[in-house]
């Protein structure tokens, strides 16, 4: 498991830190990541940037995500 510190840009443009999250494989720019909100609705985010630390660190780096839509709407449009 690869752990990143996750930061999201919400639909209203505000930034929110989600803390550390583990991934089976490191997400890459352009891929989608989904998280459930407090109501259990899946929200889809596009990976905008991946920042890797130069020196060894506890986490693989920072993962910057931008809100796209709900998970259901994203999958329905594919």
pLDDT of residue 12: 86
Residues 6+ apart with CB under 8 A from 32: 44, 45, 46, 47, 68, 74
The percent of residues in the chain predicted with pLDDT above 70, rounded, is: 100
Expressed as residue numbers, the domain containing 38 is 2-76
Q: Is-contact 51 64, C-beta < 8 A?
A: yes
Of residues 55, 22, 16, the one with CA closest to residue 38: 16
pTM value is: 0.86
Residues of the chain with pLDDT under 50: none
Number of domains in the chain: 1
């Amino acid at each position: 498991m690869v752990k990143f510190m996750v930061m999201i840009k919400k639909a209203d443009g505000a930034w929110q830190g989600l803390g550390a999250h583990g991934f089976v494989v490191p997400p890459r720019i352009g891929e989608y990541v989904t998280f459930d909100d407090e109501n259990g609705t899946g929200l889809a985010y596009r990976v905008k940037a991946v920042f890797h630390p130069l020196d060894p660190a506890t986490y693989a780096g920072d993962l910057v995500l931008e809100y796209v839509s709900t998970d259901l709407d994203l999958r329905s449009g594919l």
